[in-house]
């Protein structure tokens, strides 16, 4: 008898077919609608494998309802949506999909930086709303990118990829990380500095650190006050790293110049969120890895992790190695 698998969102048909070779597959096929919690609770009691996304909260109470569950395959790099400790205690493998989205997310990060600096969304709306009546020397003036100083908080794979893109703009590159990265220092001329120095000297502060208990509210009013009044904050990492209430106050009161956000603490972000009302904020619906090719690679890797675990083999990207025996 084949193991049973639940896929919590409609994904590419070839990926589903690949999983069906090894398992009986149940797919929540409403692509743009999150699987309701009650349905997830009901279905998880019968499955051996779960293919999920960051939109699903796989917490302890849900895991406790899954007596047969062997693997939770998360189609994402981050996995803070999963109670990994509880899964490990129950011998359930948790996997993720790193590496494949590095360059795509770095592309989006730098795009967001440029769009915020040059007020592209605001300018497009200005034109479309029929407000462009004449040329003016101060019309929609933004911040220069070429030759500016960029500070990257978190020099992991994606941070390195963003750092490489700065060279084409002759930017001065600062970074802060838990440990120094000699490769990026040697290859890209990056300078390792304290968090305080990075915040005070950077024209662009880019958040690239993973979301953990230690990085929650890493950027609050205290850190924002250290930044230049002309500085721009970019976050394409995870919501919750930047305190949104403090960021709103900083943007309203001119503590910093602008922000570009692809992530929020609560997603989907409510339409009445205060940050969405500000003209000096560019907001995106968590599309860092949203290229066709990358999303297909992510789904394929998540499927491979799932299949290997169901076969009793070690997945390629196992988060909780203690769960594999």
Active site (catalytic) residues:
238, 267, 286
The answer to whether the beta carbons of residues 228 and 198 sit under 8 Å apart is no
The answer to whether the beta carbons of residues 319 and 96 sit under 8 Å apart is yes
Both tokens of 195, joined, read 């968090």
The answer to whether the beta carbons of residues 193 and 172 sit under 8 Å apart is no
Residue 119 and residue 304: Cα distance in Å, rounded? 41
The answer to whether the beta carbons of residues 112 and 234 sit under 8 Å apart is yes
The beta strands (E) that lie in the chain are given as 4-7, 24-27, 49-52, 71-74, 93-95, 149-153, 172-176, 191-192, 204-207, 232-235, 258-261, 281-283
**Using CB atoms within 10 A of its CB, is residue 23 exposed (0-12), middle (13-18) or buried (19+)?**
buried
């Amino acid at each position: 008898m084949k193991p049973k698998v639940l896929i919590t969102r409609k994904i590419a048909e070839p990926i589903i077919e690949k999983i069906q070779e090894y398992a009986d597959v149940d797919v929540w096929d409403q692509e743009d609608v999150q699987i309701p919690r009650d349905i997830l609770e009901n279905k998880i009691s019968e499955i051996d494998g779960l293919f999920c996304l960051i939109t699903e909260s796989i917490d302890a109470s849900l895991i406790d309802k899954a007596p047969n569950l062997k693997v939770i395959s998360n189609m994402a790099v981050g996995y803070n949506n999963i109670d990994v400790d509880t899964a490990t205690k129950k011998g359930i493998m948790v996997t993720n999909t790193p590496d494949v989205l590095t360059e795509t997310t770095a592309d989006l990060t730098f795009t967001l930086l440029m769009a915020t600096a040059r007020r592209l969304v605001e300018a497009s709306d200005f034109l479309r709303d029929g407000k462009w009546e004449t040329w003016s020397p101060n019309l929609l003036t933004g911040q220069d990118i070429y030759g500016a100083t960029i500070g990257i908080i978190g020099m992991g794979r994606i941070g390195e990829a963003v750092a490489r893109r700065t060279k084409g703009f002759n930017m001065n590159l600062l970074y802060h990380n838990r440990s120094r990265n000699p490769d990026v220092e040697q290859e890209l001329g990056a300078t390792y500095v304290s968090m305080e120095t990075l915040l005070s000297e950077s024209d662009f502060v880019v958040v690239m650190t993973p979301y953990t208990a230690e990085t929650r509210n890493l950027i609050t009013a205290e850190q924002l006050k250290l930044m230049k009044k002309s500085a721009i904050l970019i976050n394409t990492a995870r919501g919750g790293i930047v305190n949104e209430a403090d960021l709103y106050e900083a943007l309203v009161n001119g503590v910093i110049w602008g922000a570009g956000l692809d992530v929020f603490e609560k997603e989907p972000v409510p339409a009445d969120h205060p940050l969405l009302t500000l003209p000096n904020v560019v907001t995106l619906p968590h599309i860092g890895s949203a290229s066709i090719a990358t999303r297909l690679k992510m789904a394929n890797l998540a499927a491979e992790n799932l299949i290997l675990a169901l076969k009793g083999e070690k997945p390629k990207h196992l988060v909780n190695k203690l769960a594999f025996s």
